[in-house]
Amino acid sequence: MSQARTSPVDADERRQLRLARLEKIARYALPVLMMAFSIWLWNWIVTANNIPHYILPGPGKVWDSLVNDWPILSQAALLTAKTTVLALIFAVLGGAGLAILFNQSKLLEMSLYPYAVILQVTPVVSIAPLIFIYVESKTAGMLLCAWIVAFFPVLSSTTLGLNSVDHNLRDLYKIYGASRWQKLWMLQLPSALPYFLGGLKIAGGLSLIGAVVAELVAGTGGVGAGLAARIQEAGYRLNIARMFAALSMVAAMGVFIFAALSVLSHLLLHKWHESAIKRET
């Protein structure tokens, strides 16, 4: 099998191999080309139509803003990143913790789960103003907003995972007289891991969204302003280039979070879980 893969014997296999190699290159090359083309097109549209920079700045102007405003923007990015990461950490602790608690106590689950759902389905934008009235610290308020958005996917997917134990394994543990903690620690938590990681990936993106929404609601408060607040502020000043620069940093942050969580998921699952196994063609 592996012999055949390293040294193709007939024309069919050679063709398949070539296609596979091309696809591998295209997977990286095409998005990069696409990006280069869009930037070129954007630049061409701006210059060809003489669009003023306070309506649509060209890519060069945005780049300049990224470089010149770097002290302000990096400071803002750091703040947004801090809110996002802290919210994600609390979302994991709160979501997974509640899931385990609910799993252990049916009573608690029946009493509290509906409220977790209500908290999730109520748009955070509508809760945020209230939060900022009652929570004095702006940092704590933003954290709370981001947490509300991010914790639910972790809670619901971990709950699903804890309940998805193979029923024969469950019987086996019972026959061997496993305690409730042994069952939780040795059987349910490993079973729930792939589900948890799926929820975590969603929560990563949501905690960034939550942080951005919280900043917008909290408003531009001078020194402690994150990227979203900078976007808003630059908008008031018609500094469109800086808006684009800050926006691209938010996007980059989202991509980074997703990539980091994907790597984490792969590291934890690649040895045993189906989702991480390459299928033999």
Partner 1 sequence: MRNLPPLGARPPVLEMAQVNKTFGRDVVALDGMSLTVGQGDFISLLGPSGCGKSTALRLISGLMSPTSGRIDWSGGQAQGDLGVVFQEPTLMPWATVAQNVYLPFRLRKQSYESVKDEILDALRLVGLEKFLNAYPRELSGGMKMRVSIARAMVTHPRLILMDEPFAALDEITRHKLNNDLLALKSKIGCTVIFVTHSVWESVFLSDRIIVMAARPGRVIEELQVDAPYPRGEAFRTSPQYAAHCKAASDALHRAMEAA
Residue numbers of the site for partner 1 (CB under 8 A)?
166, 168-169, 171-178, 182, 186-187, 190, 193, 271-274, 277
Q: Which residue, 174 or 237, is less far from partner 1 as judged by CB?
A: 174
Q: Residues 77, 254: contact at Cβ < 8 Å? A: no
Residue 102 beta carbon to partner 1: minimum distance, rounded to whole angstroms? 23
Q: How far apart are CA 260 and CA 89, in angstroms?
A: 14
Name residues whose C-beta falls within 8 Å of residue 275's C-beta, 6 or more positions apart in sequence.
194, 269
Residue 274 Cβ vs partner 1, minimum distance, rounded to whole Å = 7
Q: Give the Cα separation of 110 and 115 in Å (integer).
A: 10
Considering beta carbons, is residue 52 or 190 the nearer one to partner 1?
190
Q: To the nearest whole angstrom, how small is the minimum distance from the Cβ of residue 89 to partner 1?
A: 24
Cβ 142 to partner 1, closest distance in Å?
37
Which residue number, 216 or 264, has a Cβ lying nearer to partner 1?
264
Alpha-carbon gap, residue 46 to 208, rounded angstroms: 31
Angle between helices 138-162 and 70-104 (to 10 degrees): 40
Our CB check for partner 1 shows the closer of 19 and 172 to be 172
94 or 198: whose CB is closer to partner 1? 198
What minimum distance in Å lies between the beta carbon of 260 and partner 1? Answer: 22
CA dist., res. 126 & res. 131, Å (int):
10
